[in-house]
Protein backbone atom coordinates (compact mmCIF):
# COMPACT_ATOMS: atom_id res chain seq x y z
CA UNK A 1 0.00 0.00 0.00
CA UNK A 2 1.42 3.36 -0.99
CA UNK A 3 1.97 5.69 1.92
CA UNK A 4 1.20 9.36 1.40
CA UNK A 5 3.09 11.76 3.61
CA UNK A 6 2.25 15.13 2.06
CA UNK A 7 -0.97 17.07 1.79
CA UNK A 8 -0.33 17.57 -1.93
CA UNK A 9 0.12 13.83 -2.45
CA UNK A 10 -3.13 13.14 -0.62
CA UNK A 11 -5.10 15.70 -2.63
CA UNK A 12 -3.73 14.34 -5.91
CA UNK A 13 -4.56 10.75 -4.94
CA UNK A 14 -8.21 11.47 -4.11
CA UNK A 15 -8.73 13.32 -7.41
CA UNK A 16 -8.50 10.07 -9.35
CA UNK A 17 -11.45 9.04 -11.52
CA UNK A 18 -11.07 5.57 -10.02
CA UNK A 19 -12.19 4.65 -6.52
CA UNK A 20 -9.42 5.35 -4.03
CA UNK A 21 -9.51 4.28 -0.41
CA UNK A 22 -7.49 6.16 2.17
CA UNK A 23 -6.59 4.07 5.20
CA UNK A 24 -5.83 6.39 8.11
CA UNK A 25 -3.48 4.75 10.63
CA UNK A 26 -0.68 5.43 13.08
CA UNK A 27 2.39 3.48 14.11
CA UNK A 28 1.24 3.17 17.73
CA UNK A 29 -2.30 1.89 17.08
CA UNK A 30 -2.80 -1.83 17.92
CA UNK A 31 -5.94 -2.09 15.75
CA UNK A 32 -3.96 -0.66 12.82
CA UNK A 33 -1.38 -3.42 13.25
CA UNK A 34 -4.18 -6.00 13.47
CA UNK A 35 -5.31 -5.30 9.87
CA UNK A 36 -1.80 -5.28 8.36
CA UNK A 37 -1.54 -9.06 7.69
CA UNK A 38 -4.63 -9.23 5.46
CA UNK A 39 -4.59 -5.83 3.75
CA UNK A 40 -2.25 -7.00 0.94
CA UNK A 41 -4.76 -9.76 0.12
CA UNK A 42 -7.57 -7.21 -0.03
CA UNK A 43 -5.49 -4.94 -2.26
CA UNK A 44 -5.01 -7.88 -4.62
CA UNK A 45 -8.69 -8.88 -4.48
CA UNK A 46 -9.84 -5.35 -5.41
CA UNK A 47 -7.06 -4.67 -7.93
CA UNK A 48 -8.50 -2.80 -10.90
CA UNK A 49 -11.49 -1.65 -8.84
CA UNK A 50 -9.91 0.23 -5.93
CA UNK A 51 -6.58 1.94 -5.36
CA UNK A 52 -5.42 2.01 -1.75
CA UNK A 53 -3.16 4.40 0.07
CA UNK A 54 -2.15 4.84 3.67
CA UNK A 55 -2.08 8.07 5.64
CA UNK A 56 -0.41 8.35 9.04
CA UNK A 57 -2.74 10.50 11.10
CA UNK A 58 0.20 11.91 13.04
CA UNK A 59 2.00 13.00 9.85
CA UNK A 60 -0.97 14.77 8.24
CA UNK A 61 -3.00 16.18 11.15
CA UNK A 62 -4.51 19.01 9.07
CA UNK A 63 -5.99 16.57 6.52
CA UNK A 64 -7.34 14.42 9.35
CA UNK A 65 -8.86 17.44 11.05
CA UNK A 66 -10.42 18.59 7.76
CA UNK A 67 -11.94 15.13 7.23
CA UNK A 68 -12.88 14.70 10.89
CA UNK A 69 -10.79 11.54 11.26
CA UNK A 70 -10.90 10.77 14.96
CA UNK A 71 -10.69 6.98 15.29
CA UNK A 72 -8.11 4.80 13.64
CA UNK A 73 -7.90 2.86 11.53
CA UNK A 74 -10.43 4.73 9.43
CA UNK A 75 -11.28 3.94 5.82
CA UNK A 76 -12.55 6.66 3.49
CA UNK A 77 -13.45 6.03 -0.17
CA UNK A 78 -13.09 8.83 -2.72
CA UNK A 79 -13.65 9.32 -6.44
CA UNK A 80 -12.93 12.51 -8.33
CA UNK A 81 -12.07 14.36 -5.15
CA UNK A 82 -15.41 13.59 -3.54
CA UNK A 83 -15.91 11.37 -0.52
CA UNK A 84 -18.14 8.41 -1.36
CA UNK A 85 -18.44 6.63 1.99
CA UNK A 86 -16.40 5.95 5.10
CA UNK A 87 -15.94 3.13 7.58
CA UNK A 88 -15.18 4.43 11.03
CA UNK A 89 -15.93 2.79 14.35
CA UNK A 90 -14.30 2.55 17.73
CA UNK A 91 -14.30 -1.24 17.51
CA UNK A 92 -11.60 -3.38 15.92
CA UNK A 93 -12.39 -3.91 12.24
CA UNK A 94 -12.49 -7.43 10.90
CA UNK A 95 -11.48 -8.51 7.42
CA UNK A 96 -15.14 -9.28 6.65
CA UNK A 97 -16.28 -5.81 7.74
CA UNK A 98 -13.58 -4.16 5.65
CA UNK A 99 -14.57 -6.26 2.63
CA UNK A 100 -18.21 -5.23 3.09
CA UNK A 101 -17.11 -1.60 3.16
CA UNK A 102 -15.00 -2.05 0.00
CA UNK A 103 -17.87 -3.78 -1.82
CA UNK A 104 -20.16 -0.92 -0.83
CA UNK A 105 -17.62 1.67 -2.01
CA UNK A 106 -17.56 0.02 -5.44
CA UNK A 107 -21.38 -0.09 -5.53
CA UNK A 108 -21.68 3.59 -4.59
CA UNK A 109 -19.12 4.59 -7.23
CA UNK A 110 -20.90 2.53 -9.92
CA UNK A 111 -24.23 4.15 -9.06
CA UNK A 112 -22.88 7.68 -9.56
CA UNK A 113 -22.25 9.31 -12.94
CA UNK A 114 -18.63 9.57 -13.99
CA UNK A 115 -17.16 13.07 -13.92
CATH topology of domain 2-111: Glutaredoxin (3.40.30)
For the chain, the 3-state helix, strand and coil shares in percent, each to the nearest 5, are 40, 25, 35
Nearest to 20 by CA among 11, 28, 7, 29: 11
The pLDDT of residue 115 is 61
3-class DSSP state of 59? coil
Write out the chain's pLDDT in tens, 115 residues. 899 999 999 999 999 999 999 999 999 999 999 999 999 999 999 999 999 999 999 999 999 999 999 889 999 999 999 999 999 888 889 999 999 999 999 999 999 887 6
User: How buried is residue 78: exposed, middle or buried, by Cβ count under 10 Å (0-12/13-18/19+)?
Assistant: buried
Q: Phi/psi class of residue 93: alpha, beta or left (left: φ > 0; alpha: ψ in -120 to 50)?
A: beta
Amino acid sequence: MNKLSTETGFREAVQSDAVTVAVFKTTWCPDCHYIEPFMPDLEEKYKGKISFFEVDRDELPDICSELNILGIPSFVAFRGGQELIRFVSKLRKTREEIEQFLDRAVQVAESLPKA
